[in-house]
Structure 1
């Protein structure tokens, strides 16, 4: 599993770097309009280095502002981004896999941050690509893990303390289904105690269908849902309250 995370982080860091190559530094990111391309580059490289330091120290760190990061000149971005990814890979590789480190959802193994940064980088790779017109592709297993990790974070005990609006996802048994064309999907149930989910294919109050990459982009609120059956208002309520 760790080897696949390493492979994926390198792949999407490199893809992100190719997508922003030659882009104007102040071009507004289509899917993150509060950021310019330089801000997005700063975020990726900064986040990888921040996570590496967190793995090494094991304690919570202040979340940095990407606008305060200097990624260098545009022609240096690719090398700077790669160095940040490799720093994180090395930190996780050198850490005791049985010694847990801090995360916003409680103590987790060091590889948690490799996975978290891979999934964040993959989604921002799309942000960069759609902004600059570059090609974007993601393997089915990696796209699926963006969704699975998201479900794990949204349903983690105590997550509402970190993101209070998630309390609004409590319900009375309403169900949402994500139904990819190539694999088992996800079934979400809104309970009085919070979000519960499982892998499976079952009837739901609202179902979103598509390729797993399309569903990843819907789940991360990058594209509007296309093939929807059932209670669209339930889906819209979910999407409005699950942005991290």
Structure 2
């Protein structure tokens, strides 16, 4: 996806989140099903922290510490920071050198992709907690998000020792995805976790794959698993994302 496409999606997602951050206090005090221990107010505090952190990184090009959200009024704090955050994202040079936690080359464009998917996943969380239907996400955006998890986050989780590498490879497939999965070299809508020939495969519809990899739906129930099912299930139980 192009930088302009990420930016447009981020702007749309921010608009939805900002509207939902203005809900009454009794709604903001609801628990977030996918984020145990968090209320909606705390989720908006998390987003406000992430936005200020990402914007500061982009402006400096260097790593900075993430600020803590306020103890109270986190939703209002999020609203206050949304417009400056979007302005920073809109003004960045995607090719400029910039610290990030992805693979080289480390450029500022990483943050457009990362923040677009960060906000998409959390908008889904907010809609679930608020009893609202989540907005539709485009096929290209969903496919890009699956690629971000399986080609960037999962190898990083293994590298950092947060998950065990599978003893044999497992392939992940999205039927009819079209295009080419960026960064995987695996072909259209296909990714491999682990080394060597795949001993199992996990196949799911695109929305189910996107949500399932982020723990927002039960991929074990919705996917078709072929080959070594025990191996595939072990991988699905691992923390594929932070």
What do the CA deviations read for 1:117-136 (whole angstroms, capped 9, x no partner)?
Answer: 11111011111111111111
Q: What is aligned with 1:154?
A: 153
Check 1:133–1:159 CA distance in 2 against 1; reply closer, same or farther (3 A cut). Answer: closer
Structure 1 residue 19: deviation in Å?
4.4
Of the three residues 198, 222, 228, the one matched with 2:224 is 228
What do the CA deviations read for 1:66-89 (whole angstroms, capped 9, x no partner)?
Answer: 46574355xx86x43xx42x4334
Q: What is aligned with 2:182?
A: none
Output the CA distance in 2 between the equivalents of 1:69 and 1:151: 36
Aligned residues: 224
Say whether the 8 Å CA contact 2:53–2:65 is kept in structure 1: no
Of the three residues 187, 196, 200, the one matched with 1:205 is 200
Q: What is aligned with 2:140?
A: 141
What do the CA deviations read for 1:26-85 (whole angstroms, capped 9, x no partner)?
Answer: 211011012110011111122112101110011111233446574355xx86x43xx42x
Q: What is aligned with 1:164?
A: 161
Are residues 1:122 and 2:120 paired? Answer: yes
State TM-score, norm by structure 2: 0.79
Output the CA distance in 2 between the equivalents of 1:110 and 1:34: 32
Check 1:16–1:72 CA distance in 2 against 1; reply closer, same or farther (3 A cut). Answer: closer
What do the CA deviations read for 1:99-152 (whole angstroms, capped 9, x no partner)?
Answer: 311112356211211211111110111111111111112111111111111223
Unaligned runs of at least 5 residues, structure 1: 197-202
Are residues 1:132 and 2:130 paired? Answer: yes
1:205 partner SS? strand
Check 1:219–1:165 CA distance in 2 against 1; reply closer, same or farther (3 A cut). Answer: same
Unaligned runs of at least 5 residues, structure 2: 179-187
Check 1:233–1:65 CA distance in 2 against 1; reply closer, same or farther (3 A cut). Answer: farther
Check 1:19–1:143 CA distance in 2 against 1; reply closer, same or farther (3 A cut). Answer: farther
Check 1:114–1:87 CA distance in 2 against 1; reply closer, same or farther (3 A cut). Answer: farther
Output the CA distance in 2 between the equivalents of 1:71 and 1:55: 23
Output the CA distance in 1 between the equivalents of 2:139 and 2:94: 27
Say whether the 8 Å CA contact 2:100–2:107 is kept in structure 1: no
State TM-score, norm by structure 1: 0.79
